[in-house]
Amino acid sequence: MKKLLVLITVLSSISLFSQNAINQFDSNGKRHGLWKKTYEGYDQLRYQGTFEHGKEVGEFMFYKPKYGKQPSAIKTYSKDTDLVLVSYFTKKGKLISKGQLKDRLRTGKWEYYHNNTDAIMMIEHYKDDKLHGKKTAYFDNGNITEEYNYINGNKEGDYKLYSLNGVLLQHLNYKNNELHGAALFYNGKGEVTKKGQYKNGRKDGYWQYYDQGNLTEEIFFPINTSRKKG
């Protein structure tokens, strides 16, 4: 009877040790179970998370030196997809940004937040870690400040700039990352102040300048011939 009790105690201890053990490997030498790593020479955690036979699963928390228990990043891995959800934080736990990674490259929608509020500062879209799609920046009151379009990392198409209260100030066009096409500039009242065309990043042809809705001057580019009105 005593031998049986001793055997049960030993088996229980082994089981408990196995459950609480960290930084273990499976029979194939792959990381398995809970893993924790600290910075060399410090007690500060570097990361912690769970592996299943070498593959990350669930939440992984990453830390910076002197962050204490507050993670600088949290990555969430899924068994069903190769997309990884990631969020970045300040030392005080304020959310900085969040989005998705695929093969460690940004993909899909990413959100960035203003420093002092929970308001969204910017929304971007990525493909293979390059901006691809619409990029929108916001004032902390929620109004849009800028709108871009990107294709494979280059600005393409419309660009719009707004004032704090939502008045359109600039409407430009891009081609292959350079200003190209119609350009319109407005004052804070929404009145046109100048308009013209860009070609390969430079002003091209006649540009017209306005004051309170009245055409005051035309300048031809690239010759820079000025023609006053009135």
Cβ-in-10-Å burial (0-12, 13-18, 19+) of 1 comes to exposed
Residue 70 has pLDDT above 70, yes or no: yes
pLDDT band of 1, cuts 50, 70, 90: low
Average of per-residue pLDDT across 83-99: 97
pTM score of the predicted model: 0.84
Alpha carbons 36 and 227: distance in angstroms, whole number: 72
Better pLDDT: 35 or 15: 35
25 is written with which tokens?
């490997």
Outline where the chain has alpha helix (H).
2-20
Distance between CA atoms of residues 194 and 156, nearest Å? 22
What pLDDT score does 144 carry?
98
Dist CA 93 CA 73 (whole Å): 10
pLDDT beyond 80 at 160: yes
Q: Where are the domains of the chain?
A: 22-89
- pLDDT tops 60 at residue 100: yes
Q: What is 175-226 written as a DSSP string?
A: ETTEE-EEEEEE-TTS-EEEEEEEETTEEEEEEEEEETTEEEEEEEETTTEE
For residues 124 and 108, what is the distance between their CA atoms, to the nearest angstrom? Answer: 8
Q: What is the average per-residue pLDDT within 182-189?
A: 97
